Structure 1
Amino acid sequence: MLKAVIIDSSAVARGLLQTVLQDGSYDVVGQAHTCATAAVLLLKHNPQIICIARDVLEADVKGAEEMRRTYPKSLMFMVSSEFDAATVQKAHAMGINGFIVKPFNADTVLKTIRSTVIQMVNRQRKALAEAQAAQNPPAQPSAGDEA
């Protein structure tokens, strides 16, 4: 079961997202209202999923960037009711992996997370295969092998 931490200044939004994630078989190991309070939860639980509200991220960009550096393998999702092109571009540059739209539609949230997890696994498999291919290049046919 994948572990998740929710960071949102709204207790109501945290509770709703927690319900959606738990119903989707994710283990919500903690909730926080700021990046600073989330740091303790991240250290304690080392979650695979971090859901961070846009307002929290914008209020503490350095804290969010530190999370990304400290937990590079965790998938980070920005949660917001509004996304514009500039925000999405900036978020991608910060290492945000996906976006969850408020108000929450349970099916959409779970599909977003699942597809992001699958994309990440596929990227890792491809990178592993490329690394193995680089270490073990195919044998070059010798002059006597031609048919």
Structure 2
Amino acid sequence: MSDNKDISVLIVDDNDMTRETLRVILRHDGYNVVGEAHDGDSALEAATRLKPDIILLDVVMPKVSGIEALKSIRMIMQDVFVLMVTANKDQDTVSEVVKSGISGYIIKPFNAKKVLDTVQAVALKVRAKRQ
């Protein structure tokens, strides 16, 4: 296990199992998972309240999509690092989320190594920004 407790993470996904899997992977590697949200509306509320370093944000969710939630989050928190999580490999979707100012993305289905490699790369940016 790595010492990543200085990095706070918010997990946003409408699928309970996906949130649980991400939580277990991240906590096992020492990340401080400060909260979870199941849709875009609760993502904005949680991000505002918890002020995480990194948000893992599902693209496809009911009511408010991850892309719409990202736009709202960006209005309030310009500097937060966001990783989009998606099963959609469609070039238009990938292009749209990249243009939205994300720090990276994780394609579903994912494995622990892919998640940790992607989050670790962003964690390095978080730490560099603090210095």
Normalised to the residue count of structure 2, the TM-score between the two structures is 0.82
Q: Given residue 2 of structure 1, which amino acid in structure 2 is its aligned partner?
A: I
The reply on whether 1:81 has 2:95 as its aligned counterpart is: no
The reply on whether 1:99 has 2:105 as its aligned counterpart is: yes
Query: Structure 1 stretches of 5 or more lacking a match?
Result: 129-147
Going from structure 1 to structure 2, the CA distance change for 1:66 and 1:44 (only over 3 Å counts) comes to same
Larger radius of gyration: 1
The reply on whether 1:63 has 2:69 as its aligned counterpart is: yes
Q: Given residue 118 of structure 2, which amino acid in structure 1 is its aligned partner?
A: T
In the alignment, is the contact (CA less than 8 A) between 2:41 and 2:64 conserved in 1?
no
Cα drift, residue 119 of structure 1 = 5.0
In the alignment, is the contact (CA less than 8 A) between 1:7 and 1:14 conserved in 2?
yes
Counting matched residue pairs gives 125
With CA pairs under 8 Å and 6+ residues apart, which has the higher RCO, 1 or 2?
2
Normalised to the residue count of structure 1, the TM-score between the two structures is 0.74
The residue number in structure 1 matching 2:116 is 110
Query: Structure 2 stretches of 5 or more lacking a match?
Result: 1-5
Cα drift, residue 121 of structure 1 = 5.9
Identity of aligned residues (%): 27
The residue number in structure 1 matching 2:3 is none
The residue number in structure 2 matching 1:26 is 31
Q: Given residue 51 of structure 1, which amino acid in structure 2 is its aligned partner?
A: L
The residue number in structure 1 matching 2:56 is 51
Going from structure 1 to structure 2, the CA distance change for 1:58 and 1:49 (only over 3 Å counts) comes to farther
CA RMSD of aligned residues (A): 2.4
**For residues 114 and 2 of structure 1, what CA distance do their matches in structure 2 show?**
10
Match 1:2 to one of 4, 7, 12:
7
Q: Which has more helix, going by share of residues?
A: 1
Cα drift, residue 5 of structure 1 = 0.8
